[in-house]
């Protein structure tokens, strides 16, 4: 069967392909449907955005569709930037500006606990969806460190490690990250069903 991944982000696609390497599954992506416009991510939660993306593309293509939405939640900021992580410092996607704003808002703050969270939705061709999530807890440090990864990686040190996500190898980050854990949960929840064919899946 075909499974559509609702993203045009090649980095995400590679990670998802690796975890969902199921012989009977042919993975396609939003890159294969260039005429379908980007879905506006205007939900109040990561879950709502993941479901909206998966359902919209499933209905538009008639394919079972997987979509993810992630964000960084900082305790001292009441969970911000959360669902607004991509546009924390403004509409244009500028990771450095987002990190500067975050560090400014945490100036003088001692309690710097945070978590990345990722919601993954699977939608049937009729749009009905189910969702799983994964998270990764850690600390926001006081400056940026490292050149790997993207987004808030240079300011986030996961629990149990000394390096930021921008200093660790991709392989380690993928294993312990919110997205890696959510994808593992998705694979556990839906892998067998996807392997045996979508006909047996009841949304």
Q: Which two tokens stand for residue 88?
A: 């924390």
Q: Is 69 a catalytic residue?
A: yes
Minimum distance between the CB of residue 89 and ligand IMP, rounded to whole angstroms? 10
In the complex with ligand IMP, which residue's Cβ is closer, 48 or 193?
48
Give the residue nearest to ligand IMP (CB). 151
Minimum distance between the CB of residue 47 and ligand IMP, rounded to whole angstroms? 12
Minimum distance between the CB of residue 168 and ligand IMP, rounded to whole angstroms? 11
Give the other-Cβ count within 10 Å of 97's Cβ: 13
In the complex with ligand IMP, which residue's Cβ is closer, 57 or 198?
57
Q: Tell whether the torsion through CA atoms of 40, 42, 48 and 50 is positive or negative.
A: positive
The residues binding ligand IMP (CB under 6 A) are 69-72, 85-86, 98, 116, 149-153, 165, 177, 179
Q: Which two tokens stand for residue 6?
A: 């609702």
With beta carbons less than 8 A apart as the criterion, state whether 125 and 58 touch: yes
Q: Which two tokens stand for residue 138?
A: 């850690």
With beta carbons less than 8 A apart as the criterion, state whether 152 and 94 touch: no
In the complex with ligand IMP, which residue's Cβ is closer, 138 or 198?
138
Catalytic residues: 69
């Amino acid at each position: 069967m075909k499974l559509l991944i609702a993203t045009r982000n090649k980095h995400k696609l590679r990670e998802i392909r690796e975890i969902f390497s199921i012989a009977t599954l042919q993975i396609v992506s939003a890159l294969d449907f260039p005429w379908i416009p980007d879905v506006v991510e205007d939900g109040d939660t990561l879950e709502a955005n993941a479901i909206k993306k998966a359902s919209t593309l499933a209905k538009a293509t008639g394919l079972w569709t997987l979509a993810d939405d992630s964000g960084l939640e900082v305790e001292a900021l009441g969970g911000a930037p959360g669902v607004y992580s991509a546009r924390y410092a403004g509409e244009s996607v500028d990771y450095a500006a987002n990190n500067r704003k975050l560090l400014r808002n945490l100036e003088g703050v001692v309690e710097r606990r945070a978590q990345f969270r990722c919601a993954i939705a699977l939608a049937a061709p009729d749009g009905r969806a189910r969702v799983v999530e994964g998270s990764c807890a850690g600390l926001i440090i006081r400056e940026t460190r490292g050149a790997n990864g993207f987004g808030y990686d240079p300011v986030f040190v996961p629990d149990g490690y000394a390096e930021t996500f921008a200093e660790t190898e991709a392989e380690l980050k993928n294993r312990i990250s919110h997205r890696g854990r959510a994808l593992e949960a998705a694979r556990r929840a839906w892998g067998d069903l996807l392997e045996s064919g979508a006909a047996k899946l009841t949304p």
